[in-house]
C-alpha cells in the first residue's frame, strides 16, 4: 500500500518509545515464519533491554525486570494509538519479548483494490525520483561465443536494472564489451599462424577454436605469449594491420551477440567497449601521477593503497601497456562526466572482487567520488559437473544451444511458437535468478530446463490459470461490495501474503538480489494453487450471474494474484502468457 504498512507500524513504535522516554531508536520488523504469530513482528524490546538493564543497575532503579515486561509496556502504549488501530486488529506479546502485529482484514482487502487500480505499476515507487544509476552488465568478450557462463551477468544485470527503474531511478545500462587487452594479441597471432583464410571468412566458432588452440600450443611453446604481447602492443600503438584485424573481429562478434540478446529479450542502453576509452587513459595516468596516487615501481606505474589496505594495483605495465585498472578508471571518469550518476553498479563475476575494491578505492584517492557510490555484485560461477567452464579448455556450453533446447522442450505446454519461446526462455532465466547472485550452481540440463516445481514455467502456468478463470467469468464487478462475511484459511493465506510485494521489491533493490522476488512469487503461486485446488471459484452459471460477495471476492483475489505474478515476472525479464 502506498503509505506502506511496515513504515506506519515502525512510526507508531518509534512514537511510543519516545513517549516512554527512550532516545530515537532504529526499529526493524520481520514477518514471523509461523503466520499464526502475526503478520509483523518486532524485537525492539529484546534490543533495548540489555542497555536498559545496565543503566538501571548503575542507578539502582530497575523499571523492567525482563524483555517481556518491557514489550508489554510498549504494547500498552501502542494500544492507544488511533492511527495504528486503523491498520492493526490485534497486538500480542510472545516470549521472550517479541511484539506481534495482526493486520486488519478489511485493510488487506482494500489493498487488493490498490493492486487492481495500479495494475502494471503496483509495487513501483517514485521514492528515488531524480536519482541516476549506471549498471555495467553482460560485457562479453569479442571473438568468443556467448556461453552459459555469460548468462548470469546478462540476466542478473537486466533484473537489477528493471527493479531500480521500477522504483523510480533513472537507469542506464552499459555493455562494457571486452574488446581490448592481451587476448587480442593472442587472437591476432592465432589468425596469422593457423586461420588459413581471411578474417572476413571466419565464423565465430572458428575464431573461438583459434583462441583455444593458442592456449593449447602455448603450453609447450612459451614464445607464443611473447608474440601475443608484441601484437597487442602494436594494436595499442595503432598499427594499421593489427587495427584492421581487430575491427573485423569486433563487427563479426557483435552480430552474434545481438542474436542472443534478441532471443533473451535483453536490451542494453549503451555499448562502449574497453577500446572506447583508449584516448582517455593518458590524462588519467597524468592525473594519478600529479596527485601522488600512482608511483613508479620496477619500471611500472602502480597505485599503493594507504596502510596497505589492499595489494598495490598496476596502472601501467613496464612496457607502457595499459591494464584493466587503467581502462576501468577511464570508464568511471567518462560515466561521471556523461551521466553524473548517484550510483554505479557492476554485475561481474566474484573472481573480480579484489579488482573492483582496488578500483573503487583508487577513485576515492583520486577525489572523484566516494566508495559508497559504487557497488560490485559478485555473481558465483555456473560450473559443469566436470569443473569450471572455460573457453580456453574448449568445454564451454553455448548459450544459444541452451536457449534453443529450452524452447523445444517447452513445446509440450503449447504448440504456439511464441508461447513456447516465452516458456523456454523463462525457464532458463528463472532457474538462474532463483539463486542468490553470490551463489554459484552446477549446470545440469535436467535442472536447467526443469518445467515443474520452483520454476519459471510453474509461475507462468499459475498466471495463465488465473487468466483462464477470469476469462470464463467474463465481466464482473470491479470492487468489493458488499464485503464477504468470512474468509477461509486459503483465502486468508493469499490475502496475508500478497500485500508484501512492494516490500520485497524494495528489499531486492537494497540487497541487489532478484532471487528475493523469485522466492516471493513462488510462494504466492503455491498459495494460489492450494486455494484453487480446494475451492471452486466460479461455481455454476447461475451462481456466476448473481455475483454474490464470495464470488466477487474470489475473482478479485484471482485477478490480484495474476497482476502481481505478471509484475514480478516482468522485473525478472520473464513474460507472462495468458494461456499455456
What pLDDT band is residue 20 in, cutting at 50, 70 and 90? confident
CA dist., res. 388 & res. 384, Å (int): 6
Lowest mean pLDDT among 46-60, 249-263, 490-504, 564-578: 46-60
Per-residue pLDDT tens over the stretch 67-120: 999 999 999 999 999 999 999 999 999 999 999 999 999 899 989 999 999 999
* Mean pLDDT (whole number) for 404-428: 93
Say if residue 226's pLDDT is above 70. Answer: yes
C-alpha cell at 367: 577525489
What pLDDT band is residue 477 in, cutting at 50, 70 and 90? confident
Would 5-103 and 452-571 be classified into the same CATH topology? no
- What pLDDT was estimated at residue 510? 97
Percent above pLDDT 90 for the chain:
74
Region class of 512: left (phi > 0), else alpha (psi between -120 and 50), else beta: left
Strand partners, 143: none
C-alpha cell at 413: 505446454
Per-residue pLDDT tens over the stretch 273-332: 999 998 999 999 999 999 999 999 999 999 999 999 999 999 999 988 889 999 999 999
Percent above pLDDT 70 for the chain:
93
DSSP assignments along 130-199, one per residue: T-EEEEE---PBTTS--BGGGHHHHHHHHHHHHHHHHTT-EEEEEE--B--SHHHHHHHHHIIIII-S-G
User: What are the strands of the beta sheet with 300-303, ordered from one edge?
Assistant: 295-297, 300-303, 313-316
- What pLDDT was estimated at residue 333? 97
CA dist., res. 316 & res. 137, Å (int): 25
**Element housing 422 (H / E):** helix 417-433
**Element housing 362 (H / E):** helix 353-366
- What pLDDT was estimated at residue 57? 60
Q: Whole-number mean pLDDT of the chain?
A: 91
DSSP assignments along 508-552, one per residue: HHHHT-THHHHHHHHHHHHHHHHHHHHS-SS--HHHHHH--HHHH
Strand partners, 431: none
CATH 3.40.50.12280 fits 137-388, yes or no: no
Per-residue pLDDT tens over the stretch 129-160: 999 999 999 999 888 888 888 899 999 999 99
CA dist., res. 550 & res. 485, Å (int): 8
C-alpha cell at 432: 538462474
Cα angle 234-277-308, degrees, rounded to a multiple of 5? 95
C-alpha cell at 579: 494461456
- What pLDDT was estimated at residue 147? 84
Phi then psi dihedrals of residue 293, to 5 deg: -80, -35
Strand partners, 170: 132
* Mean pLDDT (whole number) for 429-457: 85
CA dist., res. 395 & res. 389, Å (int): 6
CA separation, residue 282 to residues 276, 286, 495 (Å): 13, 6, 60
- What pLDDT was estimated at residue 394? 53
Strand partners, 93: 99
**Element housing 389 (H / E):** none
Q: Domain-by-domain residue ranges, the chain?
A: 5-103, 137-388, 452-571
Q: Which tops the pLDDT comparison, 34 or 173?
A: 173
Say if residue 377's pLDDT is above 70. Answer: yes
- What pLDDT was estimated at residue 542? 45
What letter would DSSP give residue 345? E
Q: Say which residue the cell 509484475 belongs to.
A: 567
- What pLDDT was estimated at residue 64? 80
Per-residue pLDDT tens over the stretch 522-563: 999 999 999 999 999 987 654 455 678 889 899 999 999 999
Does residue 256 contact residue 145 with C-beta atoms inside 8 Å?
A: yes
Q: How many other C-beta atoms are found inside a 10 Å radius of the C-beta of residue 390?
A: 14
Topology, domain 452-571: Isoleucyl-tRNA Synthetase; Domain 1 (1.10.730)
- What pLDDT was estimated at residue 295? 97
E strands present in 193-271:
270-271
What pLDDT band is residue 346 in, cutting at 50, 70 and 90? very high
Classify residue 405 by burial, with Cβ atoms within 10 Å: 0-12, 13-18, 19+: middle
E strands present in 248-404:
270-271, 295-297, 300-303, 313-316, 343-349, 374-379, 382-384, 387-388
CA dist., res. 300 & res. 294, Å (int): 10
* Mean pLDDT (whole number) for 478-486: 76
* Mean pLDDT (whole number) for 480-504: 90
Q: What CATH architecture does domain 5-103 belong to? A: 2-Layer Sandwich (3.30)
**Element housing 97 (H / E):** none
- What pLDDT was estimated at residue 3? 58
Amino acid at each position: 500500500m502506498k503509505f506502506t504498512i511496515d513504515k506506519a507500524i515502525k512510526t507508531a513504535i518509534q512514537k511510543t518509545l519516545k513517549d516512554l522516554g527512550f532516545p530515537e531508536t532504529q526499529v526493524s520488523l520481520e514477518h514471523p515464519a509461523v503466520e499464526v504469530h502475526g503478520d509483523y513482528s518486532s524485537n525492539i524490546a529484546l534490543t533495548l533491554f540489555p542497555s536498559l538493564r545496565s543503566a538501571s543497575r548503575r542507578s539502582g532503579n530497575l523499571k523492567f525486570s525482563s524483555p517481556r515486561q518491557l514489550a508489554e509496556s510498549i504494547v500498552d502504549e501502542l494500544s492507544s494509538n488511533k492511527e495504528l488501530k486503523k491498520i492493526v486488529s490485534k497486538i500480542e506479546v510472545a516470549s521472550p519479548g517479541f511484539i506481534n502485529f495482526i493486520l486488519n482484514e478489511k485493510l488487506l482487502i482494500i489493498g487488493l483494490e490498490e493492486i487492481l487500480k495500479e495494475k502494471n505499476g503496483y509495487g513501483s515507487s517514485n521514492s528515488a525520483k531524480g536519482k541516476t544509476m549506471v549498471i555495467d552488465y553482460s560485457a562479453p568478450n569479442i571473438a568468443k561465443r556467448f556461453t552459459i557462463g555469460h548468462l548470469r551477468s546478462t540476466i542478473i544485470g537486466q533484473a537489477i536494472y528493471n527493479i531500480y527503474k521500477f522504483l523510480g531511478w533513472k537507469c542506464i545500462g552499459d555493455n562494457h564489451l571486452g574488446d581490448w587487452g592481451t587476448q587480442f594479441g593472442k587472437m591476432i597471432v592465432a589468425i596469422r599462424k593457423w586461420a588459413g583464410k581471411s578474417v572476413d571468412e571466419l565464423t565465430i566458432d572458428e575464431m573461438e577454436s583459434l583462441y583455444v588452440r593458442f592456449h593449447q600450443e602455448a603450453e609447450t611453446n612459451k614464445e607464443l605469449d611473447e608474440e601475443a604481447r608484441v601484437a597487442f602492443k602494436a594494436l595499442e600503438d595503432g598499427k594499421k594491420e593489427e587495427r584492421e584485424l581487430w575491427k573485423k573481429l569486433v563487427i563479426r562478434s557483435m552480430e552474434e551477440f545481438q542474436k542472443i540478446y534478441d532471443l533473451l529479450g535483453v536490451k542494453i542502453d549503451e555499448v562502449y567497449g574497453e577500446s572506447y576509452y583508449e584516448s582517455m587513459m593518458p590524462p588519467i595516468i597524468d592525473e594519478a601521477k600529479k596527485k601522488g596516487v600512482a608511483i613508479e615501481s620496477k619500471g611500472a606505474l602502480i597505485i599503493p593503497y594507504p596502510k596497505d589496505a589492499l595489494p598495490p594495483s598496476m596502472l601501467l605495465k613496464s612496457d607502457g601497456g595499459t591494464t584493466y585498472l587503467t581502462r576501468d578508471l577511464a570508464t568511471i571518469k567518462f560515466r561521471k562526466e556523461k551521466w553524473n550518476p548517484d550510483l554505479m553498479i557492476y554485475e561481474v563475476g566474484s573472481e573480480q572482487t579484489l579488482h573492483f575494491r582496488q578500483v573503487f578505492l583508487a577513485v576515492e584517492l583520486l577525489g572523484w567520488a566516494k566508495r559508497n557510490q559504487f557497488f560490485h555484485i559478485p555473481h558465483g560461477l555456473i560450473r559443469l559437473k566436470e569443473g569450471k567452464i572455460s573457453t580456453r579448455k574448449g568445454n564451454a556450453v553455448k548459450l544459444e544451444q541452451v536457449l534453443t533446447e529450452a524452447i523445444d522442450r517447452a513445446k509440450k505446454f503449447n504448440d504456439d511458437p511464441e508461447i513456447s519461446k516465452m516458456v523456454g526462455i523463462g525457464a532458463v532465466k528463472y532457474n538462474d535468478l532463483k539463486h542468490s547472485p553470490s551463489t554459484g550452481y552446477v549446470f545440469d540440463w535436467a535442472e536447467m530446463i526443469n518445467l515443474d516445481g520452483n520454476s519459471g514455467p510453474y509461475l507462468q502456468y499459475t498466471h495463465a490459470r488465473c487468466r483462464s478463470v477470469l476469462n470464463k467469468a467474463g465481466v464482473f464487478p470491479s470492487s468489493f461490495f458488499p464485503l464477504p462475511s468470512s474468509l477461509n484459511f486459503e483465502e486468508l493465506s493469499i490475502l496475508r501474503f500478497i500485500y508484501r510485494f512492494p516490500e520485497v521489491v524494495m528489499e531486492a533493490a537494497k540487497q541487489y538480489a532478484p532471487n528475493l522476488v523469485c522466492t516471493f512469487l513462488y510462494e504466492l503461486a503455491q498459495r494460489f494453487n492450494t486455494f484453487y485446488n480446494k475451492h471452486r471459484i466460479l461455481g455454476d452459471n447461475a451462481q456466476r450471474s448473481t455475483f454474490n460477495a464470495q464470488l466477487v471476492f474470489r475473482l478479485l483475489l484471482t485477478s490480484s494474484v495474476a497482476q502481481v505474478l505478471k509484475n514480478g515476472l516482468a522485473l525478472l525479464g520473464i513474460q507472462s502468457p495468458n494461456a499455456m
